[in-house]
Structure 1
Amino acid sequence: MAAFHELVGLDLRSLAARLATGSPARSELEAQQWLAVVQLLTAHILRDAVELSGGDWPLVTRAYAYAVETAIAAGDFDHREKTYRALHLSSDLLWQVPANPDIELLDPHRMTELLIRELPMPVERARARAEHWTTLERPEILVLRIAKEFLRPGLRLAHLAHGEQLPEPLKSWEELFPSLP
């Protein structure tokens, strides 16, 4: 329990340095505390992003990866949540700082590839289901909603990566976006 309270009082660089070295260990915090660490680190990153130097970003991203992977291993987080958070964090960061191809979270091309890889279904299937989504079973509606939640930040990232002329399947996803539940 003391380890969590110590983390809460740290600034971004101190928190990132600690997490990037694998401290605390997964067993030192409860699952809900790991989720709180991810949220705390994300808030610090967003708050301090413009002040970070190029040399700070590798440390911060290693810390973020460790916190997220440890939260998943602790059981209060899953792969879908990891993707959702990464897309949103990247999109929010790129409002504040320039793109950087050396840092995944700051690379709209890599984040767009993540979006395409992690969308829960092909755009053709989503289009066929979106036409009559009100008649679908709850689990099928949920999959369409997951796609929409990934697309909210993902389409912004795609435009940062590709400009106004999105390649397929991104163009089709953007056209379908308003029809998703």
Structure 2
Amino acid sequence: MHFLQYHRMTKLDDIDLRLLTALQEDAHATADALGTALGLSASQIGRRRQRLEVAGLIEGYVAKLDPAALGLSVQAFVTVQMATHAPDKVKTFTRIVKLRPEITSAWTMTGDADYLLRVYCMDLAGLNELIHQVLLPHPAVARVQSQIVMDQMKTDGPLPI
């Protein structure tokens, strides 16, 4: 649902938007710290946070890990062009995408590629194995292209609210 529509439906005020922004910066912040920053009591922050969670604006909380520190030295974006869109073939392909741990996110796309996959591997051999032994052999896949990330100039940032 579009943000502005959701915004009108849930009647977000300036404090809600500031709370969401603060939580994007530090989801681990305590209600006391958030209350101090936003000029509210910890209990008011807790109620607002709970309302935003129930409304679906806050989908969850995660820890952001350092891939390099975990030995994941290769990040790549892999595009997949399908040879067929037969429902049974697409279903088995999307199941593989969802089950492979090195594929951390996936999108369906317009344009030449049908899918864009974000991949983290220990090394180039791991990326090669994923492409040549998992993706390309799938009967629905026509073409796979990979682009290896050399450097990330901007990390996944907060949403512009």
Same fold (TM over 0.5): no
Higher helix share: 1
TM-score (norm 2): 0.26
TM-score (norm 1): 0.24
Higher strand share: 2
Structure ranking higher on relative contact order (CA contacts 8 Å, 6+ apart): 2
Q: Whose Rg is larger? A: 2
